[in-house]
Amino acid sequence: MKYNILLMISDQHSKYHIGAYGDPLVRTPHLDQLAENGTRFTSAYCACPLQPRRRSR
């Protein structure tokens, strides 16, 4: 059996700005559906969240 995996990573985006996490103003129906039917990682850690511009070349 093959699995379909979709990994979404959002840069500089707080989880509190998605309807699935309870934001009453922002409407994100597609992200809410993905969150409802998929797996949400509620705790994550990034060892180096910022990369200097000189490293991106």
Domain residue ranges in the chain = 14-39
User: What is the token pair recorded at 20?
Assistant: 């699935």
Rounded to whole angstroms, the Cα distance separating 57 from 13 reads 24
List the chain pLDDT tens, one digit each, 57 residues: 888 888 777 666 777 788 888 888 888 898 889 888 888 777 777 676 666 666 555
User: In degrees rounded to 5, what are phi and psi of residue 45?
Assistant: -140, 135
pLDDT at residue number 19: 86
User: What is the token pair recorded at 6?
Assistant: 């979709």
pLDDT at residue number 12: 67
Residue listed under structure tokens 């490293």 = 55
